[in-house]
Structure 1
Amino acid sequence: MEHRRSCSDFMFLGLILLLCFFGSVESYKNYTVGDSFGWFDNTMNPDINYQKWVTNKDFTLGDFLIFNTDNNHSIVQTYNFSTYKECDYDDAEDKDTVQWSASDPSNTETHDVSVAVPLVKEGVTYFFSSDYDGDQCKNGQHFKINVTYGQGLPKSLKDSSDSTSPISSPVSGGEDSAPDTIVPSNFSHPKENSDDDDDDHENASDDKAKEKSSSVSMLMYAQVHNIFYGSLIFIGLVLFS
């Protein structure tokens, strides 16, 4: 009986080690900045605290930040703390600061704006709105995050990691809030830019097919992982009951 119990214990420990080997399933994520509050200063949303919004979130390479705002607010990303502290884009250096969206103080009609910002560099990254002499930034429209390696950059972002071209689209919404998500769920893997020639078009199609296959494989792996994990729990209850 003791020998049988020892074998059972050994098998259970082996299954636990196997589970640790497989590890957890990860995926790229889209984070809507401020959730339903969107990207605005405290004069419009007094209750918003973007640094509090960052709490308990894990940002990794390949993730996207989705900014839902309007054309009276800007979106600036920088790796320079001095630029962030001064809330000033005008004196920033191009190599470490990107203005993804600029406000238009002379506009006669306000419309919604949505911008997707990819996280392509590890370390501390700062975001703020620099318009109206930095007043929006000083009124709470700023935050910083720490980006870790995670799974690393997907292929669609590796080739454009040095690019500063924004990805944006207009959205509709109420005055007090913005939609939680206005991009497709697979937006973490945007299509790559391609030339007009047939070869590049064919390569883009192949890449798209590979990404689709990879997504299906990841889903299947997640399902198997969950079934395997549930089986381990059941076996453990049976063996040690």
Structure 2
Amino acid sequence: MAQRLVFPDPYAAADLLTFAGRAARTGDGAVHLQATGGMLRTTAAPLVRQGLLDATPTILGMRVLPADPELECDLVVEAVTLQSASDDPCAVVLPDTAVAPTLWSSAPLPRTGWEDLGELPADALRARAAWGMSAVAHALPFDPGEQVVRTVRGRIWSEPDDEVAGMPRGVAFVAVTMGFLGDQPERVPVRGCGRWTRLSFRRGHVLWRGPAHTGMTGVRATGASLG
């Protein structure tokens, strides 16, 4: 029998498959699964550098789900290979083989030591993601090759944006792509730990590994409180 991930309810199993479906359409299509202590941390890289000349920043999307307390795993799989179990709505079937760990999945994410940097309104992130997608579409020539697409995307999503506290505009793209921005107004806490910056939405987290925070401009409010 194929190996499975068992969840306490069908909603968590469906949540993982939704996350994997989004991850399969962006980045390198891989998902990192780490389970311990009754929690499953799922991570993907909707934006990831591919090749020496690629300027695309590596920005991760992460969601934490409740799982079987006895489940322990640490593996990387192709997102498209995760399937629902036909005989158990609370289980997700794993592929027969994992894939080699990627550079982004091998980078250890801090579990402690995060410091508050401020917060951002979700609407600002949504607006910058929309602007960036439009900019990519307008910058691409007719029938561009893969290298041209990567160059344009890398330039636009890697640019620091004052509307997202000087972080790469790609953090907004990842938030939208992974479905972390809901319909309700939200203020998004921003935290830092060393070179890592984390935006914590109600639906998940966006993580960017950039310069150390020494001298970094603090996150500023970009409008009245939205609730």
> What TM-score do the two structures reach when normalised by structure 1?
0.25
Q: Which has the higher helix share?
A: 1
Where is the strand percentage greater, Structure 1 or Structure 2?
2
With structure 2 as the length reference, what TM-score do the two structures score? 0.26
